[in-house]
Structure 1
């Protein structure tokens, strides 16, 4: 039996996790011996009885060709620990996956990658922070690794694609059972030439709650560092941050208002020693990368460096004058500041007639200065 096929057997045997796989290999010394092991040897390796029964039952009728025929026609590849495409950085984990089921092509990881995670219920502040930071980081050449979950993960993948960057989505389900379902189109976009969708679970595995904390070690494990944008007091992204620290990786966090529940976790990470991030440069300097340098020449794409540097400069005073803005727009921007405001709020603050207020808001949206949010709310994103 080929080693690649032995690892496939371990990956598709129900209930068999990476820790049991590591114990078997450490005790027996080779994958071939793991394949040939009997019940007594597996028990001596410290593997639980239920896992042993699953391995022996799966081995009794294991046909690697038949197993691959179940998922390869769907565009899924199995990348085992001995495969050249298997990310080298995962070998440094205490419990690396035996292999990954992959759709797409895994881009550069390790020192070329950053994990970005956060709350599933993100605020407008969290979305804006994610999009600003990730756009610049992706333009700088970093692979963005995240979990395709709702909220910050979705924003991170989306911003990377918008910036023309590379991204890896690590699932807590099988790659043919995308969860959440609304992110199926996003997963297809990622796999279609922009990175990969990967999972250690067999392709048709549903998204079980216990799978997601386990997969988080792969999200952090694929990258040199992890950035947490928003995280509540008991957010799963804090598990990813803890695992990053256990793996010897750096952890960054975006600060937030002390009154905002989704920022409790990130603020506490900073208290505990995570590096505070205000701009992408706070991360890029640790990767020895420069956003300005990477935007010259062929890598500039459709965005000039001056345009992007302007878009991602620190927020300036809302009172700052701008020659392109009308007096009505300046009044509205002064009233809006950089906090969310409803349509009613702006009407009361400016005294503008409804028609003039609507037209001014629309013009500023088209200029990319403000962003419209659900519920007739607005947020200023640029000067």
Structure 2
């Protein structure tokens, strides 16, 4: 994890980070190791190769630092960032998603197309089979509509099947949705969902990736992106999945990250239900209605189901009446864990007592 002290990133340091990010064999942990050793990407890039070797980094990393491909890739990314609606979130900056920063290996850089401010809002992940049944697709759409209507951002992986049904349903009711890619943003995959991704970006939702812009499909990148889907979210709802499904990887990561896991049961004769039944046996919350998810989230807050706390007595509202706060600032000020804060903010937003604007929460005065 990076230091919580945020200093603005200079243009030279931004370019150095983009170059470091392009190096072969540099993942989040090695990126963090270089930062801890040298204090910045600029200093890491100018350090002698022997210093990199002493950190246990492969020789290929140090040798590639000055390659034209790495320089040109960083320059291209800088040009990409100049265009409207295209952003880079960095893990030591205040606009980085607070919940994602808590996972063991947060991405040091996130490329975002669309509105990055929605990443501050409470998100629920919805995942499932790429070859889903028609009833599974209908169930995913119904839950996504209800959850988006209740104020959650619907987060998924923009894959075929359940992912696409969830994203589309959130858009259909004017809700917000986040797609996390297992490729770079300029190498969109699968192409069949390209139009859906464009609609998400145009409507004020977002598509993001930790990978360099021109990273193509690679089997190893899709399990990696699943930790981002779960890391951004308060919980993960698995709609339909086989026992060998990547959705179960996302659910396992969610559990390891301390997030809620929900699963929708199905027929014992349907192979697509077996993964969900396995999750339920392992302790996932069995979900038949949206209320089962809301109940589990309210458990974070230890509040009664019908929240009858007087407005003036709600600790988060008292803070918001004093001044707007980000969710992370509310967690710091209240002493509550961040998932508990986000669950409570969802409840307050559903009750019309709080609203998120430009990444900061405000109390609504009636």
- Superposition TM-score, scaled by structure 1 size: 0.70
Residue in structure 1 matching 2:287, options 267, 277, 283: 277
1:151 matches 2:161: yes
Q: Distance in 2 between matches of 1:177 and 1:276?
A: 37
**Counterpart-to-counterpart distance in 2, 1:9 and 1:293:** 41
- Give SS of 1:108's match: helix
**How big is the shift at 1:249?**
1.3
For 1:294, the equivalent position in structure 2 comes to 350
Given that 1:148 and 1:169 are in contact with CA atoms closer than 8 Å, whether structure 2 keeps it comes out as yes
Shift in CA distance, 130/67, structure 1 to aligned 2, threshold 3 Å: closer
**Map of 2:138 onto structure 1:** 128
Whether the aligned pair in 2 keeps the contact of 1:9 and 1:59 (CA below 8 Å) is no
Structure 2: distance between partners of 1:188 and 1:266:
31
Structure 2 runs not aligned, ≥5 long: 1-10, 298-342, 356-366
Q: Is residue 2:249 matched to residue 1:239?
A: yes
> Counterpart in 1 of 2:303?
none
Correspondent of 2:267 among 231, 248, 257: 257
- Aligned equivalents of 1:30 and 1:80: distance in 2? 13
Q: Which moved more, 1:246-255 or 1:285-294?
A: 285-294
Which whole-Å CA distance do the structure 1 matches of 2:82 and 2:346 have between them? Answer: 40
**C-alpha distance in 1, partners of 2:89/2:346?**
33
Say if 1:170 and 1:215, in contact at 8 Å, map to a contact too.
yes
Task: Describe the shift of the 1:125–1:238 C-alpha distance in structure 2 as closer, same or farther (beyond 3 A).
Answer: same
2:219 alignment partner, one of 199, 204, 209:
209
Counterpart mapping for 1:87-102 below 5 A: 87-102=97-112
The offset of 1:253, in angstroms, is: 0.9
Find the aligned partners of 2:130 and 2:70 in 1 and give their Cα distance. Answer: 42
1:173-252 matches, cutoff 5 A: 173-252=183-262
The 1-side partners of 2:193 and 2:181 are apart by 11
Shift of 1:275: 0.8
Note the aligned Cα RMSD (angstroms). 2.9
Q: Does structure 2 retain, via aligned residues, the 8 Å contact 1:89–1:221?
A: yes
The equivalent residue for 1:9 is 19
TM-score, normalised with respect to structure 2:
0.73
Q: Which residue among 31, 48, 53 is the counterpart of 1:21?
A: 31
Output the CA distance in 2 between the equivalents of 1:111 and 1:277.
23
**Offset at 1:79?**
2.5
Check conservation: 1:8, 1:80, Cα contact below 8 A: no
SS of aligned partner of 1:251:
strand
- Contact 1:281–1:290 (CA<8 Å) still a contact in 2? no
Q: Deviations over 1:203-235 (max 9, x none)?
A: 222222221111111111111111111111110
| Structure-2 change in CA distance of 1:294 and 1:192 (3 Å) | same
Inter-partner Cα distance in structure 2 for 1:65 and 1:83:
21
Secondary structure, counterpart of 2:44 in structure 1: helix
Kept after mapping to 2: 8 A contact 1:165/1:194: no
Q: Hey, what's the Cα distance between the residues in 2 that align with 1:77 and 1:209?
A: 26
Pairwise CA distance, 1:165: 0.8
Q: Given the superposition, is the C-alpha separation of residues 40 and 62 from structure 1 closer, same or farther in structure 2, using an over 3 Å criterion?
A: farther
Give distance in 2, aligned partners of 1:3 and 1:212: 29
Task: From the superposition, tell whether residues 193 and 275 of structure 1 become closer, same or farther in structure 2 (CA, over 3 Å).
Answer: same
| 1:78 CA drift (Å) | 2.5
Partner of 1:268: 278
Summarize the Cα distance change of 1:194–1:70 in structure 2 as closer, same or farther, 3 Å threshold. closer
Aligned to 1:49: 59
Alpha-carbon deviation of 1:88? 2.0
Contact 1:7 1:80 in 2 (8 A): no
CA contact (8 A) 1:241 1:251 kept: yes
The answer to whether the 8 Å contact 1:107/1:167 transfers is no
Whole-Å separation in 2 of the counterparts to 1:87 and 1:291 = 20
Deviation (angstroms), 1:20? 1.7
Distance of aligned partners of 1:206 and 1:60 in 2 relative to their CA distance in 1, 3 Å threshold: closer
